Amino acid sequence: MSSALPPVNISVERVAKMIDHSLLRPELTISEVGDGCELSLRYDVASVCVKPSDVPFAASLLAGTDVAVGTVVGFPHGSSTSRIKAAETAAALNDGAREIDMVINIGWLRQRRDDDVLSDIEMVVRETGDVALVKVILENAYLNTDEKIRGCRLAEQAGADYVKTSTGFAPGGATLDDLRLMRTTVPPRMGVKAAGGVRSLDLLLAMAEIGVTRFGATATASILDDLRSRIDGQHKEA
**Catalytic annotation present for 236:** no
> Looking at residue 7, what is its pLDDT?
65
Q: What is the mean pLDDT of the chain?
A: 95
- Judge whether residue 170 has pLDDT over 50: yes
**Catalytic annotation present for 51:** no
Question: Angle CA(225)–CA(227)–CA(229) in degrees, nearest 5?
Answer: 70
How far is residue 15 CA from its own chain's centroid?
14
C-alpha pair distances (Å), 58 with each of 44, 69, 95, 99: 14, 7, 9, 13
- Which of 85, 135, 148, 193 is an active site residue? 193
Instruction: Let me know: does 99 contact 132? Beta carbons within 8 Å.
Output: yes
Q: Where are the domains of the chain?
A: 12-237
pLDDT, tens digit (0-9, with 9 covering 90-100), for 184-238: 999 999 999 999 999 999 999 999 999 999 999 999 999 999 999 999 887 666 5
Q: How many CA atoms lie within 13 A of 234 on its CB side?
A: 15
- State mean pLDDT over 134-142: 98
pTM of the model: 0.94
Top CATH class of 12-237 equals alpha beta
**Catalytic annotation present for 17:** no
Q: How confident is the model at residue 14 (pLDDT cuts 50, 70, 90)?
A: very high
pLDDT, tens digit (0-9, with 9 covering 90-100), for 59-70: 999 999 999 999
> Looking at residue 1, what is its pLDDT?
38
pLDDT, tens digit (0-9, with 9 covering 90-100), for 75-90: 999 999 999 999 999 9
- Which of 54, 101, 120, 161 is an active site residue? 101
Query: How close are the terminal C-alpha atoms of the chain, in Å?
Result: 22
- Which of 135, 164, 178, 226 is an active site residue? 164
**Rounded percentage of the chain residues whose pLDDT exceeds 90:** 93
